[in-house]
Amino acid sequence: MTRDLLAISAANQHKARAVIEDCGLYAAWESVGATVNLVGSLRTGLLLHRRDIDVHIYSQPFDIAQSFAAVAKMAEHPRLARVTYANLLQADDACLEWHVWFTDTHGESWRIDMIHLHPGSRYAGYFETVAERIERALTLETRLAILRLKDEIPPEAGVIGIEIYRAVIQGGVRDASGFSAWREAHPRAEIVDWMPDEPGSAEKREEVS
């Protein structure tokens, strides 16, 4: 089972990267001078069953018209089936939020979340740091535990990835029953902004104390 989950994860990550290439995501945004950073489970290598791709986008100067132009270029692809947009520049996120649904060559639908962040957003660069910290914190054991939980927890449970990552990496959770108990003790509101400590930070805290 362990080997199967690793293989499924690797295969779906390969498919996801093929989708990124096929839909012209990088080319479209780079054509308007923007930079695209991969974040989320594809960046950390923890993508399993869900066909979701997350990217954060930056441009200088920030231009709404250029954001629309990039997505319009992507929409020229005949297999890009749907686009949604939200202007959240006045919210804490300070971003333009794009979601597109793209059908790959196997007929599977992928959702691509493209968050075009204003340079002044509190989240500018934040989730890149989260992904980097998670990557550094992962071991083979914790990677497998995360994939097992993703495989066992049904979608209707409404669990988000960061809950699983914190439960496994920080909380030592290794199975679904342990996760249920851990989740009861850790409301989502207090963990959505969690990230692993920087390597060595625990030792530094001990020295200070």
Binned at pLDDT 50, 70 and 90, residue 204 comes out as very low
Task: Judge if pTM exceeds 0.85.
Answer: yes
Taking domain 2-123, whether its CATH number is 3.40.50 is answered by no
Give 62-100 pLDDT, tens digit per residue.
999 999 999 999 999 999 999 999 999 999 899 999 999
Complete DSSP assignment for 30-55: HTTT-EEEEEHHHHHT---S--EEEE
* DSSP secondary structure, 65-76, as one string: HHHHHHHHHHTT
d(CA 77, CA 105): 12
d(C-alpha 193, C-alpha 195), whole Å? 7
Checking if the pLDDT of 202 tops 70, the result is no
- Position with higher pLDDT, 158 vs 103: 103
pLDDT at 109 over 90: yes
Quote the CA–CA distance of 97 and 106 in Å, as a whole number: 27
List residues bridging with 113 in a β-sheet.
Answer: 54, 99
Predicted confidence at residue 201, as pLDDT, reads 52
Q: With contact defined as beta carbons under 8 Å apart, do 183 and 160 qualify?
A: no
Q: What is the pLDDT of residue 200?
A: 60
The mean of the pLDDT values for the chain is 92
Indicate the domain borders of the chain.
2-123, 138-200
User: Could you check whether the bond before residue 61 is cis, i.e. omega within 30 degrees of 0?
Assistant: yes
Using one digit for the tens of pLDDT, what is the confidence trace for 163-182? 999 999 999 999 999 999 99
